[in-house]
Structure 1
Amino acid sequence: MIKAEMAGTVWKVLVKEGDTVEEGQEVMILESMKMEIPVEAEEAGVVKRVVVNEGDFIDVDADLVEIE
């Protein structure tokens, strides 16, 4: 499970369920304090579930994307 390292708003989701991702690939972009923060996959795999939607406000350690 990819978790948020900081609180912010989900600005853009770059993957969907069923997508194959590589380690280090950007899966979404968060916005915090007017900065865009990329969120990267920590491992290669297939996206099982995208937990959040664009525009959602998320807290630190919130679940973002599940990869299997």
Structure 2
Amino acid sequence: MSQILSLMAGNIYKVLVNPGDRIEAGTEVVILESMKMEIPIEAETEGIVREVRAVEGDFVNEGDILIELE
């Protein structure tokens, strides 16, 4: 199992995947809003989305788990 982490503190603007989705490395999974900029968070590995911990509107810190892959 691998995890996709937040690269910086900010608000979750949009979640682009759902549990059960198969994703490839480089797939955008979450759009983070920080300092009035939209920052896409990409998967570093391929896998199947096991759990989405990011909820649109939530504030996250650097290193928080956004997505778990299996």
Aligned to 2:17: 15
Alpha-carbon distance, 1:52 to partner: 1.5
Deviations 1:8-58 (A, max 9, x none): 000000000000000000001000000000000110010000011000000
SS in 2 for 1:5: coil
TM-score, length of structure 2 as denominator length: 0.95
Segments of 4+ in structure 1 off by > 2 A?
none
Aligned partner of 1:31 among 27, 30, 33: 33
Aligned positions of 1:1-68 closer than 5 A: 1-68=3-70
Identity within the alignment, %: 54
| Count of aligned residue pairs for this structure pair | 68
SS in 2 for 1:2: strand
The Cα RMSD (Å) is 0.4
5+ residue gaps, structure 1: none
